[in-house]
Structure 1
Amino acid sequence: MTKKNHDADVAFIQALAELLRENDLTELQVKRDYGADDSLNVRVSRHIQQQAAVQVAAPAPAPAAAPAAAPAAPAASSPDDPADHPGAVTSPMVGTVYMQAEPGADPFISVGASVSEGDTLLIVEAMKTMNHIPAPRSGTIKRIVVEDGAAVEFGTPLVILE
């Protein structure tokens, strides 16, 4: 490889890194062919700190004799964190969650429902492909952590199965 190609490749990789940052992407892969036996294959990626999923749940009623201004515990150390729950079923991919097979249809699951191993819990759409997420074991749905239409990352807790 000549010095000229090397300098052009470095500039190309820097441009890809800038494109990654400007468009808030996590990964970009490009192959550049220069000739029959000469090519450049580049993969640029970055790790983004994932924020905890926002949960919408009714607050528990406070006891009548509770202190008026007790400071709240930080969410990260909460024992209710679904990511730490042993029955958490997590997303195997990045995508969009759908709770039913098609708009207007009944949801696959509901809180309190019993499921058998292999039953579809929900769908994660990734790159226009509908991926059915099966129950890893039989049990009861204790909590649905995500909402219909929510975007999820790899490893995001979807449901709690006990």
Structure 2
Amino acid sequence: MKHLLSRTCLFLLGLLPLAASPLAAQGVGEDTVVTSDKLEMVGKDEQNHFFFQDNVVVTGTNLKATCDEMTVIASRVTEQAAVGELGTITSITLVGHVVIEQSGRRAESGRAEIFPREGKVVLTEDPVVYDSEGTVKGERIELYKNEKKARVFGGAKNEPGKRPTVTLPSIGDMGYKEGSK
């Protein structure tokens, strides 16, 4: 189970390149591309906000993510930075039918928040993470890249279906057989 959680943590934290794509700028891997039916950019004094709506698809090196809406908030690098200039991404929020696929693993939730500066991903609204070694689900899943740590939270005590759950492949029958020595 510890192995599955650490793989799950690494998978979801693999989303962080989505937020800080300097590797693509250095020619390592492919560019991160976001498409949507609508895009609105709003420049504020210290930040730029990018609102992607309807049929949002993010593709990049070994990554595909889809959702209904995505908001990217980026700090302006300098006061002279242009409206719409990306800058340093402070947060990415994916909402509605969120599916993130990478390296044979898949995460599904109603909401995903990515905080690249903190190395943190938060999945809420019925999050589930699948890979070949099992499934992890709970009310809230938090992943911390720098600590290589995952935390899975349950709902209230009166919500038994919302408890953290890990489902692993069968390990086979290890029980006692009648008539054996």
Short-chain TM bin: under 0.3
Higher relative contact order structure (alpha carbons within 8 Å, sequence separation ≥ 6): 1
Larger radius of gyration: 1
Q: TM-score, normalised by structure 2?
A: 0.21
Query: Normalization by structure 1: what TM-score?
Result: 0.23
